[in-house]
Amino acid sequence: METLKLIGHIRSTLHELKDCPLQENEGAPGASIMIDSEYIDAVSGLKAGAKILILTWLHKGDRSILKTKPRNNPKASLTGVFATRSPDRPNPIGLHVAEILSINNNVISVSNLEVLDGTPVIDIKPVI
């Protein structure tokens, strides 16, 4: 199928999965989206204070996994990955809501974001 374009990547103080809170907003730190220079024109119109959806490519996900267990409940039965938010799935796309704090050139600073440092960003959309 189609090949994704890398539009940028995340800069964060989260460097390992064990640093990550289990659910969004359980105290995740702020982070920055470093937009690739090629895609800066696509950022115009985004403003501080706006809520955005950030689509990432969870590059540490295992794309061969179809069934999984919750990270915090290893005794649970196996569930299809489409019924979970596991990063292990055929297309490990992460979906995150954050508020824009500021935009400076190619750097979009956002509030609480549970995404590992270096994670590729593949799309940004406004929250409607």
Does the footprint of a copy of itself cover residue 5 (CB under 8 A)? yes
CA angle 25, 105, 112 (to 5 degrees): 5
4 makes contact with a copy of itself (CB under 8 A): yes
8-state DSSP, 118: T
The residue written with tokens 């400076």 in the block is: 104
Q: How many residues bind a copy of itself (CB under 8 A)?
A: 44
Q: Which of 95, 102, 105, 118 binds a copy of itself (CB under 8 A)?
A: 95
Q: Interface with a copy of itself includes 57 (CB under 8 A)?
A: yes
Of 13 and 91, nearer to a copy of itself (C-beta) is: 91
Q: Is residue 82 within 8 Å of 89, Cβ to Cβ?
A: yes
C-alpha to C-alpha distances, 70 to 23, 64, 78, 112, 118, nearest whole angstrom? 12, 17, 9, 22, 24
Using CB under 8 A as the binding rule, whether residue 126 contacts a copy of itself is answered as yes
Task: Say which DSSP state 5 is in.
Answer: P
Per rule CB under 8 A, is residue 55 in the interface with a copy of itself?
yes
Which residues in this chain contact a copy of itself in the complex, by CB under 8 A?
1-7, 23, 39, 41-46, 50, 52-53, 55, 57, 59, 63, 66-67, 78-85, 89-91, 93, 95, 120, 122-126, 128
